[in-house]
């Protein structure tokens, strides 16, 4: 074992779904000792083959951990896991890094629960999707105290680019800012490519033509390609995007801010989810744009 490997903290990773699985692989490749837990056994079996330890419960996963990373579906699930034996099983001084996307108010509540058990907390949601998780290029938005951030930074740097943006809850607020921009931009790209197709231009070539200009973005690059290729297998799902936009609008209402673009794109994602598209990639918003324009969806059936 190298000196660098020997210096890594012991990590418990709770939640090895679409995002968690490649993140654990990144940690393992760097030599980080990881014990993982997931409610569904198949992802764990894959990670054990890659060198991870597997625990039969979340509580048992954290007993020897220096750092606990959670990547779970939503805030209530995070709270359920913390209160379901994990906080009691963790040693004093354990650092909890919640990389799930949850409401800022819940992040602050969870930090209080962890502090009451003599632990430290960071909320550290990510952006970059499954591609960023696999490549270690995630944008990691961190809320919490500076010493705890410095403790976690080497570990988080294996997964991407961590930035401390403020106190507890600020990481989740930053993620909501990100999600509002992502959602509105997905809507803009979907409208633009729909306009190209309806007007008689080749949307593939239109996307190529505007890449590098002021309209260029990662959304145009990645999601625009998915829209043109009609590939809607999930990276980030419509349901997850809608959940995040619910939180965006809730926080905006709390601070007395009106966000008309976020409201409109929230309603479009909601209509797509009600029509059975909740499990599709959020680039599938183009299907809802097309339905509104033509009363029918064009192109191949949803995959």
| Cβ burial, residue 130 (10 Å; 0-12/13-18/19+) | middle
Burial of 81 (0-12, 13-18, 19+ CB in 10 A): buried
Of the candidates 117, 119, 161, 125, which has an alpha carbon nearest to the alpha carbon of residue 143?
Answer: 125
**CA 101 and chain centroid, separation:** 6
**Residue 245: C-alpha distances to residues 1, 165, 168, 175, 185 (Å):** 45, 20, 20, 11, 13
Distance of CA 16 to the CA centre of its chain: 12
Calculate the alpha carbon distances from 88 to 63, 117, 146, 171, 290 in Å: 9, 8, 25, 25, 51
Q: Where are the alpha helices (DSSP H) in 66-145?
A: 75-81, 87-89, 104-116, 129-135
* Catalytically annotated residue among 175, 207, 223, 243: 175
* Residue 10: active-site member: no
Tokens read off for 266: 């929230």
Rounded Cα distance, 225 and 221, in Å: 6
> HSE-up of 48 (CA within 13 Å, CB side)?
11
Measured CA to CA, the distance from residue 32 to residue 7 in angstroms comes to: 9
Half-sphere CA count of 271, side-chain side, radius 13 A: 13
136, two tokens: 């270690």
Active site (catalytic) residues = 175
């Amino acid at each position: 074992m190298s000196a660098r490997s020997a210096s890594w903290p012991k990590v418990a990773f709770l939640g090895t779904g679409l995002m968690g699985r490649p993140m654990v692989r990144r940690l393992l490749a760097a030599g980080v000792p990881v014990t993982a837990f997931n409610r569904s056994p198949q992802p764990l079996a894959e990670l054990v083959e890659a060198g991870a330890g597997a625990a039969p419960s979340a509580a048992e996963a954290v007993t020897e951990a220096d750092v606990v990373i959670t990547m779970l579906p939503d805030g209530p699930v995070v709270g359920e896991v913390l209160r379901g034996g994990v906080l009691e099983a963790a040693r004093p001084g354990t650092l909890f890094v919640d990389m799930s996307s949850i409401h800022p108010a819940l992040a602050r509540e969870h930090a209080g629960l962890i502090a009451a058990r003599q632990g430290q907390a960071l909320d550290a949601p990510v952006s970059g999707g499954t591609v960023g998780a696999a490549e270690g290029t995630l944008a990691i938005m961190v809320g919490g105290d500076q010493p705890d951030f410095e403790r976690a930074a080497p570990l988080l740097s294996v997964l991407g680019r961590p930035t401390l943006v403020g106190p507890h809850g600020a990481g989740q607020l930053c993620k909501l800012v990100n999600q509002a921009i992502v959602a509105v931009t997905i809507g803009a790209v979907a409208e633009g490519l729909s306009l190209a197709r309806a007007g008689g231009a080749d949307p593939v070539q239109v996307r190529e033509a505007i890449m590098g200009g002021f309209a260029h973005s990662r959304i145009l690059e990645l999601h625009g390609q998915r829209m043109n290729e009609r590939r809607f297998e999930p990276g980030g799902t419509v349901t997850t995007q809608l959940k995040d936009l619910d939180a965006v609008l809730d926080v905006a209402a709390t601070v007395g801010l009106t966000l008309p673009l976020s409201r409109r794109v929230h309603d479009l994602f909601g209509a797509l989810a009600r029509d059975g598209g909740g499990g599709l990639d959020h680039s599938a918003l183009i299907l809802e744009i097309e339905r509104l324009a033509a009363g029918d969806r064009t192109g191949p059936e949803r995959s």
